[in-house]
Structure formats: C-alpha cells, structure tokens
A and B are shown apart, each in its own frame.
Chain A
C-alpha cells in the first residue's frame, strides 16, 4: 500500500486503500456523486465505483451483467480454472444463479430470526462477562470488547470448545489478514485452521449435537449430504463474513456514542429508541463494501465497462446519497424512514443480518447499561481498518462518572 502514489483525483483513480479514503471516505463519495457519479480507476487492473444509491442498487441486482465469482478486490483476476478453488471460495456469497439459490437455501434456515433470536441470552451473558473484564478508567472498546463478541458468538454457534477461544481468534486473524495473499501462501497459512476444523467436523460426526456444524454435516441437497469441502467452505464463509463486519459495526456505534454525548444520553434515557437507532448506526456507519466483476464488454450507467473490470459496491456510499435519504449526511438517531442498504441488496443480502443486528443491539445495550457516560479518551489514537470493511480497531474510551 505504501509504495503506491497517493490518489490525486478519486474520479479517475479511486483506491479504497488510499490513506485519505481510509481516514474519511464520506467527503470523497459526496464529491464523486456530484461529479461522476461512477468513478473509474486503472488500479487493480481496472474498476468502477458507483457512488449513488441508484448506481449501487442497479448493479447489486443485476446478476446478468455482473458476477460475484470474487467479492474481494485484488490485483489479479480469478480464471474459470481457479474456481472453485480448494479454499477461500465460499458459497453462496461467491456464487451466481442458478447455483446461488441452492447454496443459499441451505444456510438461510440456520440464520433466520427464529434460531438467531434464541441466542440473545447467550450473547447478553457474553457481553456482560467481557464488560466485567474491562479494567480502569480508560477501556479499549475496540480490541477488548467489540473484537471479542462476534468470534465468541460464532464459536458457540459452531459448537467448538469454549477453551479454544484464543486459538479460534488466532485463526480468524489468519483468515482475515490472508484474504489477499497468493493462493499457495494461503494454503500454507490455512493448514492449521483446516486441521482444527476437520478435527471438529470429525468430532461432530461422532457426537452429533444441536449446533451449526452438525446442521451443515446433516443438511441435504436432493437427498445428498454436503461434501466435507462444502461444509468447510461454508464454515470459512461464516468466519470471513461474520467477524470483522459485526465487530466494525459495534465499534463504529460505540465510537459515535463516545463522541456524541447527546445521542448517548438519549439512548440511555429512551431505551425504546434502540431499534431505530440501530438502523441509523447501520446506515451511517455501514461497514461493508463488496466487489463484483463485469461479465462482458458493455456500456453501462454511461460507462464503457470491459470484461473483468472490478465493481466496488459502496453500500456505505449509497447510504449517504441525498437523493435517497433526507439529510443524508446527518446522523438522526430517531430517523423513521430508513431504507439503508448496509446488508446489501438483491439475492446476496447478507445471510447473517439477523445475527449481526442482534449482536449489535445487545452489545450496545449492555455497554451503555454498565457505562451510561463515556467519551473518546484520545480521538487521535483511534485507528480505522482499511480495505473493504470499515470500522475502528483501537478505540480507547474513558468511562465517566454518572
């Protein structure tokens, strides 16, 4: 990243890894909406960034002209022979119709509101325990709180031993940090993860129980159980898609409350506001952008798109489009109409959205219940993740007396 020149004009050379974009992308997107509104870059081998809700929506819903074969931007392109790769490919997020619907139907029942809502007491107890462990006047709400919630929830859902949590978090770091490493290096890095998961799968086959691992091992497509590779791939998807996304949403929401005492006070005093406030956190600080590839040369949204050009679907940019949202650049904690697209649009709507919402709500509720007043301890010490998932990492918060 550091060897690349800084971007001078995001309309013609946008780069989501550029320091200015990482630090504060919102003014860049507003400028692009007024000037382009689809920005181009030659970086990463060529790509487009629609900055409006209309542009994002059109492409997200168009599976004829765009493929989800890969959803993370890198310097290379997958070829037909690369896919399905032995690892890293995670149906259904990387699937197109018609296979997409089959792969998605398998996992949706496990993430529907019924089974997910049943997890609330477990998540609440987990958050309370993490808060118990926070010591001193200044706590790291990112690295010591938000970061631990999604992995602990996923570990419980998968039915892996509680004592393995630190090891499990190490695996997550491997999975997330290695996402754009070359395939051979990734296979090497993955070996211990795969070994552990295979051992867990074998244990679940020998001792079936009521958890996501046993569910995936037993679920059937047309009378056939899934291949172990498919089960493993879906577990990897759960890790990639379910961890730093939700961690980022929790962190951004706490960052907002730490820097906006009026909103914090309202939420503490009016707990019934929580459901609408959660949707506004999701709109305003949507953490996730996803990529597509252009399927064939075409004119689209006024652009001459070429086969295999990247598309970066900026759901967070769509969420700030004034053509879609009144006072789009304002955080309005009791916003009534909020058609935000934090979880995407169309057939790839985040399958874990019910879980993410639950984790986000419970994490905020428990934090503000214990700490009704807090502020950023050192605004300059807050660091933000770069890449396609945006959220605070280091987040020192000072707990104030009531």
Chain B
C-alpha cells in the first residue's frame, strides 16, 4: 500500500506533516508532500491513516 497527496486538493492545512513527520514533509509554499515513494508498512500505515483522517481537504489517499 502507498500513500499519496493530491496536489490539486492540498491547500497546505499542515496537519499531515505535523502528525506524521516521518511520512510527510512540506514544500516551499507549505503544501504537504510525501517523503520517498510513499510505501507503507504496518507501523507507518496507522500513522498515515491518522493523518488521512485529520486532513480537512480530504487530499490524502491510501491505495494499492
């Protein structure tokens, strides 16, 4: 499973990189970006799901 951020939906609310700084970072404008290729293991999956459930813009997707 992989996590990605839809850059069209992301508005830089800043929740993902605060909750899961090991998975998400921010760019020069403060928008969220996924670190690396976004592959999740059992540990990071929970954290990614928590970030997803806190994104006000519904911009985070976890998929095959």
Provide the bound-state CA to CA distance between A337 and B14, in Å.
15
| Interface bin, chain A | 20 to 34
| A299 interface residue per 8 A CB criterion | no
Provide the bound-state CA to CA distance between A346 and B11, in Å.
6
The SS class assigned to the B binding surface is loop
Whether B30 pairs with A339 at a CB distance below 8 angstroms is no
B32-64 CB mask vs A (1 if < 8 Å, else 0) is: 000000000000000000100111111000000
When C-beta atoms are compared, the residue in chain B nearest to A341 turns out to be: B56
Whether B54 pairs with A349 at a CB distance below 8 angstroms is no
| B22 interface residue per 8 A CB criterion | no
Given contacts A336-B50, A339-B54, contact A111 B30 (CB under 8 A): yes
**B13 CB contacts on chain A under 8 angstroms:** 343, 349, 353
**A109 CB contacts on chain B under 8 angstroms:** 28-30
| A112 interface residue per 8 A CB criterion | yes
- Nearest-Cβ distance from residue B34 to partner chain A, whole angstroms: 16
Name, among A279, A339, A346, the residue most crowded by chain B CB atoms within 10 Å (CB to CB). Answer: A339
When C-beta atoms are compared, the residue in chain B nearest to A336 turns out to be: B50
**B28 CB contacts on chain A under 8 angstroms:** 108-109, 112, 114
Given contacts A113-B17, A345-B11, A349-B13, contact A338 B54 (CB under 8 A): yes
**B27 CB contacts on chain A under 8 angstroms:** 112
Given contacts A113-B17, A113-B26, A354-B30, contact A108 B12 (CB under 8 A): yes
Picked from B18, B53, B56, the residue with its CB within 8 Å of the CB of A275 is B18
Whether A108 pairs with B30 at a CB distance below 8 angstroms is yes
Whether A345 pairs with B29 at a CB distance below 8 angstroms is no
A327-352 CB mask vs B (1 if < 8 Å, else 0) is: 00000000011111101011101000
| A105 interface residue per 8 A CB criterion | yes
**B54 CB contacts on chain A under 8 angstroms:** 279, 337-339
Given contacts A113-B14, A347-B11, A354-B14, contact A339 B29 (CB under 8 A): no
Provide the bound-state CA to CA distance between A341 and B17, in Å.
17
Provide the bound-state CA to CA distance between A154 and B62, in Å.
38
When C-beta atoms are compared, the residue in chain A nearest to B55 turns out to be: A339
When C-beta atoms are compared, the residue in chain B nearest to A337 turns out to be: B53
When C-beta atoms are compared, the residue in chain B nearest to A113 turns out to be: B26
- Nearest-Cβ distance from residue A209 to partner chain B, whole angstroms: 21
When C-beta atoms are compared, the residue in chain A nearest to B53 turns out to be: A337
Provide the bound-state CA to CA distance between A353 and B28, in Å.
15
**A108 CB contacts on chain B under 8 angstroms:** 12, 28-30
Provide the bound-state CA to CA distance between A349 and B57, in Å.
10
The 8 A-B residue pairs whose C-beta atoms are closest, nearest first, are: A112-B30, A349-B11, A108-B29, A337-B53, A339-B56, A113-B26, A341-B56, A109-B28
Please name 8 pairs of A and B residues whose Cβ atoms are closer than 8 Å in the assembled complex, sorted by A.
A108-B28, A108-B29, A112-B29, A114-B28, A275-B19, A339-B55, A339-B58, A349-B12
Beyond A111-B30, A353-B14, 5 additional pairs, beta carbon < 8 A: A113-B17, A114-B28, A337-B54, A345-B56, A354-B30
